[in-house]
């Protein structure tokens, strides 16, 4: 039986609390780690029943999953939205059904933020700002930055904010230029495809700003095949987002210059928020997870080895 949004629900004591989770997809190593964190948090706890639907990066699939959760009468819904727009109606449907919602990872653009309890995830603009700050230190005022920009899923908060940070920085640096914006959809395969095509006719770049690690891996393959060097001492400085174990290893080995962390391991934090809600305790409207950034100079092999994802 669903509780009333915004108030402490009345619950039967022995029944498992049913959570329906609509996940974006499995487009990246980050996403796989995020799914594992959620599953590991709830799967072995008899107090919870955890139902997850993979939307394969389609918002329509998320709507279908959420409507199914409503019909099944779940107690709680968690949504990792593919894109920000388009959520008003379905969130109203969830509210009408009296089911509380957490928005996780990315955000939703709705008129009324009382349609969800809280939004937990990364400070994506903060991540982008970390990246451009680092680049400022790398490009002297008398040198040009010719930046190739690989973008993730258009309309997703991670894309919107990382792009905003770069575009704002380019607007105030007369020696910075975005040579092109290529659409990589946060996947390695797409990034490899668009990079391969681009590099056939354009090789004059010295920075790659890639909005996630998997696109970076695809781009590195394309750069290798085009005979373009990258990383420390190479033609192209690589900035990547997520800081997965594989990317951190490349960073340690001098192949990636900057890894900006995007922490996917917040399943336990979500559980804490749900438990607070169930006890009737207040929860903050926005929760940002802890994140950092790593360079070849700052990272150790021990740190890479200890990385969970
Ligand atoms: O929303 C988080 C982003 O989505 C991660 O950077 C990316 O890897 C994932 O697919």
* Short-list 157, 154, 212, CA closest to 188: 212
Q: Is 266 in the pocket of ligand 1 (CB under 6 A)?
A: no
Contact indicator for 294, 243 with CB cutoff of 8 Å: yes
Residues 6+ positions from 301 with CB-CB distance below 8 Å: 252
- Report how far residue 263's alpha carbon sits from residue 247's, in angstroms, rounded to the nearest whole number: 13
pLDDT 10s digits, 71-128? 999 999 999 999 999 999 999 999 999 999 999 999 999 999 999 999 999 999 999 9
Separation of CA 279 and ligand 1 centre (Å): 32
Ligand 1 pocket check for 185: Cβ under 6 Å: no
What contacts 44, CB < 8 A, 6 or more positions away? none
Tell me the helix, strand and coil percentages in the chain, rounded to 5: 40, 20, 40
- The pLDDT value given to residue 11: 52
pLDDT, residue 43, reads 86
Q: Say yes or no to pLDDT of 196 above 60.
A: yes
CB of 106 closer than 6 A to ligand 1? yes
Distance CA 274, CA 102 (A): 9
**Using a 6 Å cutoff on CB, does residue 261 contact ligand 1?**
no
User: Does the beta carbon of 124 lie inside 6 Å of ligand 1?
Assistant: no
Gap from CA of 36 to ligand 1 centroid (Å)? 14
pTM assigned to the model: 0.94
DSSP 102-152: EEEES----S-GGGSSEEEE--HHHHHHHHHHHHHHHS-TTS-EEEEEEE-
**Cα-Cα-Cα-Cα dihedral of 187, 190, 192, 193, to 10°?**
180
């Amino acid at each position: 039986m669903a509780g009333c949004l915004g108030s402490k629900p009345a619950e039967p004591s022995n029944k498992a609390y049913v959570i329906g989770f609509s996940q974006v997809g499995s487009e990246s190593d980050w996403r796989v780690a995020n799914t594992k964190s959620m599953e590991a948090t709830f799967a072995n706890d008899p107090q919870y029943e955890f139902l997850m639907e993979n939307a394969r990066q389609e918002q329509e699939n998320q709507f279908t999953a959420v409507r199914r959760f409503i019909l099944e009468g779940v107690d709680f819904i968690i949504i990792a939205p593919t894109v920000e727009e388009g959520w008003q109606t379905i969130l109203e449907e969830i509210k009408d059904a009296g089911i509380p919602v957490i928005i996780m990872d990315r955000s939703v653009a709705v008129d009324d933020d009382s349609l969800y309890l809280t939004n937990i995830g990364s400070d994506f603009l903060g991540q982008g700002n970390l990246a451009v700050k680092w680049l400022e230190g790398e490009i002297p005022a008398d040198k040009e930055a010719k930046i190739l920009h690989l973008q993730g899923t258009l309309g997703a908060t991670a894309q919107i904010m990382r792009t905003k940070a770069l575009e704002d920085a380019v607007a105030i640096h007369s020696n910075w230029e975005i040579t092109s914006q290529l659409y990589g959809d946060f996947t390695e395969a797409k990034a490899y495809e668009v990079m391969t095509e681009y590099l056939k006719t354009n090789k004059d770049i010295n920075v790659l700003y890639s909005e996630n690690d998997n696109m970076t891996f695809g781009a590195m393959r394309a750069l290798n095949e085009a005979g373009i060097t990258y990383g420390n001492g190479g033609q192209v400085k690589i900035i990547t987002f997520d800081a997965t174990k594989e990317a951190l290893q490349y960073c340690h080995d001098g192949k990636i210059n900057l890894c900006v962390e995007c922490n996917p391991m917040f399943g336990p934090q979500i559980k804490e928020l749900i438990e607070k809600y169930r006890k009737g305790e207040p929860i903050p409207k926005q929760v940002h997870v802890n994140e950092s950034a790593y360079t070849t100079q700052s990272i150790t092999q021990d740190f890479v080895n200890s990385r969970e994802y």
